[in-house]
Amino acid sequence: MDEQLRRKVADLLEFYEELGFAEFYVRQPSPPKATAVSEEPAAGDTRPATPKVQPIAESESPLPDPVFDQALPTPPLNDAAMLQAAIAPGPPPQLLNLFDSPSPTSPARENETLEMIREDLGDCHRCRLAAGRHTIVFGQGNPHAELVFVGEGPGADEDAQGLPFVGRAGQLLNRMIQFIGMKREEVYICNVVKCRPPGNRTPLPDEIEMCSPFLLRQIRVIRPRLVCCLGAPAVRTLLGIREGITKIRGRFYDFQGTKALATFHPAYILRNPREEKVLREDFQKIAEFLKMLR
């Protein structure tokens, strides 16, 4: 394998790792299907007709993949339409439908605050992640922020300090926030899960199921103008979109009365520095969006 091809394969594997794929398999071809075709007996032969097996060619159109061929739940708005909608008169964004049904984990409470949600979370042991954590990483920032960033889960530095995005990925996120003329203190930063997954692996579905109601309550209380989903796990959790992040990044989606934008996780950019220009493009869209609302 030549060096150029080797680099392409390595980059592709890193990309799939960012999406949460740890291994691949090769689907073995199915054996030809067969159908019986009666063979006519010769003249004067009293024996019954002998079935003749004839292969049937497999369909050229395989069945859709049950996960990745799902339609997007909400079509993205183009930039012009989105900005026009954003400046139209009307009430401030409200996250309604997703939270109208109370549950033991996400009760409906009037005048809820982030402090109340943190109290409900407590010393959480609702899933297996609690066994390996040092600190719960609840979130940090302005409780009335216009912009909320949602990542995947805490890493080693975050687990040690109890704060989100304080490692190398956090330093890059800080630079991007400064790039659009804002300060970290002006935004709110949190994750899909609040405890570090072992080895920084992607959170499992049942772990997300137990933790995400607290994230949704945080977003409801903050009432941001824009939620920025950093990486595929945040996109899947908040928007239900299974399509690859490279296909949907930089687009704005309707999200329960407000807007959401998908982009790369800073950790992916650290592994692929040449993609930082793409991240800057997406953050520039964030700046333009917020500017139109003021």
Domain at 79-292, CATH homologous superfamily: Uracil-DNA glycosylase-like domain (3.40.470.10)
Query: 113, 221 in Cβ contact below 8 A?
Result: yes
Residue that is written with structure tokens 């300090």 in the block: 161
**What confidence score (pLDDT) does residue 245 get?**
94
**What confidence score (pLDDT) does residue 110 get?**
73
Q: What is the pLDDT of residues 219-273, one digit of tens each?
A: 999 999 999 999 999 999 999 999 999 999 999 999 988 999 999 999 999 999 9
- CA separation, residue 117 to residues 32, 121, 160 (Å): 58, 6, 22
Query: 235, 229 in Cβ contact below 8 A?
Result: yes
Average pLDDT over residues 155-179: 98
If phi > 0 it is left, if psi is from -120 to 50 it is alpha, else beta; for residue 168 that is alpha
134 or 89, greater pLDDT:
134
Q: CA 273 to CA 270: how far, in whole Å?
A: 6
Question: What is the DSSP-derived secondary structure letter of residue 77?
Answer: B
Average pLDDT over residues 5-23: 57
Token pair listed for 243: 């399509």
Of the candidates 174, 192, 175, 148, the residue with the CA atom closest to the CA atom of residue 290? 148
